[in-house]
């Protein structure tokens, strides 16, 4: 693998337009061939979304990095305490060795205008005009997200001992993370459209509120509280595999204990998410 070295990363956050927001808890990590950046957006207004891009000092911040993913980058970023940007380094550059700084540039957007434009775009591309067309699209995205979250939970539950000893096992764990991120990003990207579908096609306030609550539980509590906590453990696993920790035996023991406890919490969270999803989808199917 081509070398990747990241150290002394300084994160800069710039807002264009409105300056009342605060960026907090910024943490860059190097995991294999990826760089993961955690941050939070606080003090935003209820009607605000953010368009976020990542830049690097390697090219003097000239071009935004293209191969990025996560809930902290793109055209529809929600404020929150745990935003994540994942940069697939070697898809953008041949080598990445040395000390670099990153700049996250954000444009404040209106949630209302974004919702309207999203609906127009969706209608033009797939012509969703009724609940019969909207329901399977929403159900498939939710089911895919839950299944990938379960697979990721299983990967952490069963691959951790091997992943701390083998690069191949670590690669399998990373692949499970990437598959989960794909499902998460789709659901996160489409949530405004789905909420609009429920409001327009079902025309029941209680269903609209319950569906929004379900999305908050999936993308907020399940993702931000449980899954991101597990994903952050991969940094330590990567350090163990690359012999960058002192007293690896103690670190492995403590990490295995922490992950085991977090997997139990995630399993309970996913059972509740699946229960809520099945109930909401049943109610929507009966209307």
When divided into structural domains, the chain yields a total of 2
Q: Which residues contact 30 (CB under 8 A, 6 or more apart)?
A: 4, 5, 6, 36, 235, 238
The CATH number of residue 224's host domain is 1.20.120
pLDDT attached to residue 24: 74
Backbone angles phi, psi at 141, to 5 degrees: -65, -45
Overall average pLDDT of the 158-179 stretch:
89
Do 274 and 140 fall within a single domain?
A: yes
pLDDT, position 127: 66
- Which pLDDT score, from 0 to 100, does residue 240 have? 87
Is there a single domain that holds both residue 139 and residue 276?
Answer: yes
Same domain, 96 and 161: no
**Residue 287 reports pLDDT greater than 60:** yes
Residues 209, 87 share a domain? no
Instruction: Please report whether residue 165 resides in a domain.
Output: yes
CB within 8 A of 214, min separation 6: which ones? 142, 276, 277, 280
- pLDDT of residue 232 exceeding 90: no
Q: For residues 266 and 16, which has the higher predicted lDDT (pLDDT)?
A: 266
Supply the mean pLDDT for the chain. Answer: 81
> Does residue 86 sit in the same domain as residue 197?
no
Residue ending a domain, choose from 110, 137, 155: 110
- Is residue 159 located within the same domain as residue 48? no
Quote the longest CA-to-CA distance of the chain. Answer: 60
Cβ atoms of 280 and 211 within 8 Å: the answer is: yes
Choose between 107 and 152: higher pLDDT: 152
Task: Report residue 12's pLDDT band, with 50, 70 and 90 as the boundaries.
Answer: very low
The pLDDT of residue 150: 96
57 and 167 housed in the same domain? no
What is this structure's pTM?
A: 0.62
Q: 6 lies in a domain?
A: no
**Residue 3 in domain:** no
Please give the C-alpha separations between residue 213 and each of 147, 185, 276, in angstroms, as whole numbers. Answer: 20, 18, 10
278 with 240, same domain: the answer is yes
Chain segment 255-284, per-residue pLDDT in tens:
999 999 999 999 999 999 999 999 999 999
The region of weakest confidence among 24-38, 57-71, 176-190 is: 24-38
pLDDT surpasses 70 at 194 = yes
Q: ∠173-271-278 over CA atoms, to 5°?
A: 115
Q: Which has the closest alpha carbon to 143: 240, 237, 278, 261?
A: 278
Same domain membership, residue 132 and residue 96: no
15 and 135 fall within a common domain? no
pLDDT tens readout for residues 113-161? 444 444 443 443 446 888 999 999 999 999 999 999 999 999 999 999 8
**Whole-number pLDDT of residue 2:** 43
In a domain, 17, yes or no: yes
- Could you give the CA distance from residue 97 to residue 2 in angstroms, rounded to a whole number? 9
Residue 256 and residue 132 share a domain: yes
61 phi/psi in degrees, rounded to 5: 60, 30
In a domain, 5, yes or no: no
**What is residue 1's predicted lDDT score, i.e. its pLDDT?**
39
Q: Is 259 inside any structural domain?
A: yes
Give the whole-number percent of the chain exceeding pLDDT 70. 84
| Highest mean pLDDT: which range of 19-23, 98-102, 124-128 | 98-102
Residue 97 and residue 57 share a domain: yes
User: Tell me, what's the pLDDT at 242?
Assistant: 82
CATH code for the domain in which residue 36 is found: 2.60.40
Which of 49, 82, 110 marks a domain boundary? 110
- Which domain covers residue 173, as residue numbers? 128-286
d(CA 287, CA 134): 13
């Amino acid at each position: 693998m081509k070398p990747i070295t990241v150290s002394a990363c300084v994160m800069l956050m710039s807002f264009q337009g409105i300056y009342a927001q605060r960026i907090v808890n910024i943490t860059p990590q190097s995991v294999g061939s990826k760089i993961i950046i955690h941050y939070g957006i606080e003090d935003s207004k209820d009607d605000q979304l953010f368009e976020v891009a990542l830049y690097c000092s390697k090219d003097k911040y000239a071009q935004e990095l293209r191969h990025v993913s996560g809930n902290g980058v793109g055209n529809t970023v929600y404020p929150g305490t745990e935003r994540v940007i994942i940069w697939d380094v070697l898809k953008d550059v041949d080598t990445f060795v040395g000390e670099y700084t990153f700049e996250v540039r954000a444009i404040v957007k209106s949630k209302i205008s974004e919702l309207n434009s999203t609906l127009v775009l969706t209608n033009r591309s797939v012509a969703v005009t009724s609940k019969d067309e909207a329901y399977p699209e929403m159900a498939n995205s939710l089911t895919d997200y839950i299944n990938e979250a379960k697979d990721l939970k299983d990967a952490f539950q069963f691959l951790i001992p091997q992943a701390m000893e083998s690069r191949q096992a670590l690669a399998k764990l990373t692949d499970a993370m990437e598959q989960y991120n794909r499902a998460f990003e789709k659901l996160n990207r489409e949530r405004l459209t789905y909420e609009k579908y429920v409001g327009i096609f079902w025309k029941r306030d209680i269903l609209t509120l319950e569906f929004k609550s379900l999305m908050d539980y999936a993308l907020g509590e399940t993702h931000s509280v449980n899954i991101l906590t597990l994903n952050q453990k991969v940094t330590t696993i990567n350090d163990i595999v690359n012999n960058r920790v002192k007293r690896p035996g103690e670190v492995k023991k403590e990490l295995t204990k922490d992950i085991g406890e977090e997997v139990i919490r995630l399993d309970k969270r996913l059972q509740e998410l699946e229960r809520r999803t099945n109930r909401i989808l049943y109610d929507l199917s009966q209307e």
